[in-house]
Structures are given as C-alpha cells and as structure tokens.
C-alpha cells in the first residue's frame, strides 16, 4: 500500500478501508481511520437495551459508579471521586451552605409574616384591596365606636367576611385575628368615626 505524502511525513500511517482486513495472531497492522481521518475506536464494556429486565448483581451494563461509606472520606483539591450513595443506593444530595433563614441547630426555617396596612378613621366605605387577598387582623384602636361590616367585595355590599357588629369593649379593643382569604376584594364600612387598622396582603 502506498502512503500519501502527509502520511509519510508524520509516520505511523493509518489506513481507511471500507472493509477492514482480517488479521491473524502476530500480524502487524496500521491503525484504522474513517473517511474523514478520524481514528476508529471500539468501546468496551457491556450494555443493556432501554427498558430491558435488570437483576441486581447479575445484569451486565456500564454503570455510573457510586460508593457507600458510613463515614465518607475527605477529599482535597483536584481529587476525583465516585458519587456518594446511601445503603439503599439513593444518591446523597445536600446543600453546601445554609440557605437564608435556616436554623440548623433547632432544625427550623425561620419565617416571618409581613402584611400591608390600611387605616380608617371616619364613617365611610373603604375599599382596601381589589382582587383576591388575605386579611390578617382587624385592630380597633380608638375614635367613636360604631357599627363595622367587612365585605369580600369591592363595594360595601355582597358577601360578608364579618357581618355588621358594634364593638363594646374598652378602647383599644383586642385585635381580631382572622387569617382568612377573600376572593373579590376587601371593603370595610364604618358607621362612625372609629379608628381601625387593618393588616392584609
């Protein structure tokens, strides 16, 4: 077989054969390449068809290696390692650092409630929010006590969250904690100049 100039120049010529020759024991041979000069490499190892039956410890296949260690070894910079798994072969996953608000000592995620507020101090109809939302508290803090009605609506009518009532306790009254959702809007009607603070979102 004659070599091309480029093959001779760089040595160790490789052959392209549509049908590679069959070698016998002890034969010398040039490397095989495809039509584009890419070296042909045949991968080793076993494989399994998709959705084929699998028997642990028996069925051959190329696996993604994991290692189970009761006490994992510590790695240093630039060391390679197998993926860690537990005794049931579940891949171990953990956050490298705490997330904001996380309290690992007490095993809780710290949260806080935040609400918008609305203040009412006259006898009026007040639409606090249009659309769905959440009412947390109704705080009656002063002014002239009078009838109060809380609606799930954008007007002073329709579905009531709290039907009409008149506070009678000594001011300031205890906070009314509702923690309830509304669908249409939040409107409060006050019949007197009662000072009210509403917590909602």
pLDDT of res. 2: 47
CA atoms 45, 46, 50, 53: torsion sign: negative
pLDDT of res. 159: 97
DSSP per-residue letters across 99-153: PTTEETTTTEE------EEEEE-SSSEEEEEESSEEEEEEEEEEE----EEEESS
Residue 127 lies in a domain: yes
pLDDT of res. 122: 97
Residue 83 lies in a domain: no
Number of compact structural domains in the chain: 1
Euclidean distance between CA atoms 122 and 144, whole angstroms = 9
State CA 181 to chain mean position distance. Answer: 25
Q: What is the pLDDT along the chain (201 residues), one digit of tens a residue?
A: 444 444 444 555 777 888 877 888 877 777 888 888 888 777 666 777 777 787 877 877 776 778 899 998 888 887 878 889 999 989 988 877 777 777 777 878 888 889 999 999 999 999 999 999 999 999 999 999 999 999 999 999 999 999 999 998 777 888 899 999 999 999 999 999 999 999 999
CATH of the domain at 149: 2.60.120
Residue 32 lies in a domain: no
pLDDT of res. 44: 62
Residue 4 lies in a domain: no
pLDDT of res. 45: 66
Q: Please classify residue 4 by burial: count the beta carbons closer than 10 Å to its beta carbon, then call 0-12 exposed, 13-18 middle and 19+ buried.
A: exposed
Range of the domain at 130: 116-200
Residue 161 lies in a domain: yes
Residue 39 lies in a domain: no
Euclidean distance between CA atoms 135 and 159, whole angstroms = 15
Residue 76 lies in a domain: no
Euclidean distance between CA atoms 16 and 11, whole angstroms = 15
Residue 160 lies in a domain: yes
């Amino acid at each position: 077989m004659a070599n091309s100039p480029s093959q001779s120049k760089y040595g160790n010529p490789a052959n392209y054969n549509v049908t590679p020759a069959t070698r016998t024991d002890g034969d010398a041979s040039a490397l095989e390449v495809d039509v584009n000069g890419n070296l042909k490499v045949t991968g080793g190892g076993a494989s399994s068809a998709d959705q084929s039956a699998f028997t642990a410890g028996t069925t051959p296949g190329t696996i993604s290696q994991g290692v189970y260690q009761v006490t994992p070894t510590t790695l240093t910079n630039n060391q390679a390692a197998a993926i860690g798994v537990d005794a049931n072969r579940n891949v171990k996953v953990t956050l490298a650092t705490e997330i904001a608000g996380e309290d690992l000592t007490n095993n809780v995620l710290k949260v806080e409630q935040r609400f918008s507020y609305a203040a009412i101090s006259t006898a009026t109809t007040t639409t606090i929010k249009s659309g769905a939302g959440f009412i947390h508290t109704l705080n009656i803090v002063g002014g002239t006590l009078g009838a109060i009605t809380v609606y799930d609506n954008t007007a002073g009518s329709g579905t009531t969250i709290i039907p009409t009532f008149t506070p009678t306790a000594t001011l300031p009254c205890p906070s009314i904690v509702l923690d309830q959702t509304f669908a249409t809007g939040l409107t409060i009607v006050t019949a007197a100049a009662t000072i009210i603070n509403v917590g909602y979102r």
